[in-house]
Amino acid sequence: MLEARDLTISYDDRIAVSDVTLTLTPGEITALVGPNGAGKSTLLRSLNGQVPRTSGAVLLDGQPIEKYNRRTIGRRVAVVAQEAELRFPVTVLEFVLGGRFAWGPSSGWGWETEQDLRVAAAVLAETELHELSGRLMNELSGGERQRAVLARALATEAAFLLLDEPTANLDLSHQATLLNLVRKRCDMRQASSLVVTHDLNLTAQFADRILLMRDGKVVRLGKPEEVLTAELLNQVFNVEVLVDAHPITGAPRVTPIRRN
């Protein structure tokens, strides 16, 4: 398991995350939602050991994450950031193969193995990027680049996927494709995923649980129908909404109400 226990993170005199407890378990997608500045991305990055904590703990398989080296963490936890930083021109295939770094020699030197190439080819096909494998990353559209970032994360074969706004810049079709890939990885390989998102209706369709945050604190953690209520969303987002059931799936459906 990957978990946060009573986690608090402060920047100078500002508390970004306050006393949050969360457990990511195999086979589940947990969505992390809330207004801008709620502490969502800070919480996500802390679960990868990237953000120092003020108090509390982050535990990976029952051990403090600080006990593991970065290579070990990289094999267990993969992160999809909002935007990939590229300092050098690399092809899509080279970028995705970078996700296999944690499985290479401990010296950090060595060529990719046949297994690395097989994994990279598989995730490029999954993310519909196989025809773009020879293109440079800086030649891709925003949506294509975001899919490449997901492919790199999937190539790690990590048990935990931490996704920060993974559907940003994607059209409706590729949003569904990406989240279906995450769902499939959780179902077939018993992976666990934490997804930061602003799309409440996509969240209702794909998430097993939703963590709703405001001002760094947990407002509610539970199933979509327990969290996506008109009362809670009005309280957290300060907007009047209608919440009804999707006519096909029965999942909560959120519609803002505009009154003259």
pLDDT per residue as tens digits for the range 48-102: 998 989 999 999 999 999 999 988 999 999 998 766 666 668 999 999 998 888 8
| Tens-digit pLDDT string for the chain (260 aa) | 899 999 999 988 889 999 999 999 999 999 999 999 999 999 999 999 989 899 999 999 999 999 999 889 999 999 987 666 666 689 999 999 988 888 876 545 557 889 999 999 999 998 889 999 999 998 888 788 888 999 999 999 999 999 998 887 788 888 888 899 899 999 999 999 999 999 999 999 999 999 999 999 999 999 999 999 999 999 999 999 999 999 999 999 999 998 76
How many C-beta atoms surround the C-beta of residue 248 within 10 A? 6
Q: Which CATH architecture has domain 2-227?
A: 3-Layer(aba) Sandwich (3.40)
